[in-house]
Amino acid sequence: DAGVIQSPRHEVTEMGQEVTLRCKPISGHDYLFWYRQTMMRGLELLIYFNNNVPIDDSGMPEDRFSAKMPNASFSTLKIQPSEPRDSAVYFCASSPKTGQGDGNTIYFGEGSWLTVV
């Protein structure tokens, strides 16, 4: 498998614009996570899905953030409108079902580096 695939890898956008980050998890994985990483706050769990269903979005910072998973192979994280403080690396990650061989392992994508100016 190619691993978790994220796009875009880098994005620079102006404040107020809509940003859409995309993720393709590893085939067969039941869990999908969105994390945000900054120097100040480290790796924050924003939201996670199980079998395409959002389970916990308590980490989503504001209503400006939304995430969807329309099918098992695709998820999006949208920021509208974007603000400079949203600048961060956004990681998508996936994990197999608990109890399966490596169900305790999270596989991260390479991240989407977002800069809002």
- Which spans of this chain sit near other proteins (rule: CB under 8 A)? 31, 33, 35, 42-43, 45, 48, 50, 55-56, 91, 95, 98, 103-111
Q: CB-wise, 13 or 50, nearer to other proteins?
A: 50
Q: CB-wise, 11 or 110, nearer to other proteins?
A: 110
Distance CA 87, CA 50 (A): 27
Q: CB-wise, 43 or 117, nearer to other proteins?
A: 43
Nearby residues of 51 by Cβ (< 8 Å), 6 or more positions away: 30, 72
C-beta of 98: minimal distance to other proteins in Å?
6
Distance CA 48, CA 57 (A): 7
- In 3D space, the residue among 90, 25, 87 whose CA is nearest the CA of residue 59 turns out to be 90
C-beta of 99: minimal distance to other proteins in Å?
10
